[in-house]
Amino acid sequence: MRRVLHLGLVLLLILAGETALRAQATGEKSPKPAATPGAQSAATMAAENPNFVIGQNDVLDISVWKEPDISRRVPVRPDGKISLPLLNDIQAAGLTPMQLQTQITEKLKKFLTEPQVTVIVGEINSRRIYVLGEANRPGAYPLLPNMTVLQAISGAGGFTQFANSSKVRVLRMENGKQLSFNFNYKDVIQGKNIDQNIVLKPGDSIVVP
């Protein structure tokens, strides 16, 4: 019995070696793990838009070259600030990643010689819109650049069979007041009253009755 097991193990090792050699000869590579969709879209959105402004609840990856004790992943607090070793609290909300990078670099010059700082937006949580009611996938969604009501509804999987798509409303808080915009899905897809398909702003709620 031991001899049979030994022979089986030898055959498995031979097959594994042949597979590795074949992959090396053909240039095949092991599949890489897929990136997290949310993290990928957030990083891409911020990287492609140099004017992206950091907001509350965003998560930042701050790297200081050769300084692992300072480099870290930090959330932007509700007060708009982040905390870093040596520097304590730093205002982040309202700045672009490049502006924050410059600010951190200048402050670190008191402690380090020629600090090299990189700021990357890892998660975008400040720019969200909400789809509520009779949508197939109601919930919070990242606000993409120039996203319209129609695009947001599409991203939420469209309407349920019980939805009244002609009486959708967009709710928005502006200067302390709640504004309401009508959206008639049937009209818009037929090319009527397309000005209802407004560009969304952070915090907008789309209510599907």
The tally of CA atoms less than 13 A away on the side-chain side of residue 134 is: 13
At residue 10, φ and ψ (nearest 5 deg) are: -60, -45
CA distance 192 to 206: 20
Specify the pLDDT at position 47.
65
By the 10 Å C-beta count (0-12 exposed, 13-18 middle, 19+ buried), 176 is classed as exposed
Q: CB-based contacts of 79: which residues, under 8 Å, 6+ apart?
A: none
Query: Shortest CA distance to 87 belongs to which of 70, 67, 73?
Result: 70
Q: What is the mean pLDDT of residues 47-59?
A: 84
CA distance 12 to 100: 55
pLDDT at 99 over 80: yes
Q: What is the pLDDT of residues 161-203, one digit of tens each?
A: 999 999 999 999 988 899 999 999 999 999 999 999 999 999 9
For residue 46, what are the CA distances in angstroms to 152, 182, 185? 19, 30, 30
pLDDT at 2 over 70: no
pTM (2 d.p.): 0.62
By the 10 Å C-beta count (0-12 exposed, 13-18 middle, 19+ buried), 106 is classed as exposed
Specify the pLDDT at position 36.
39
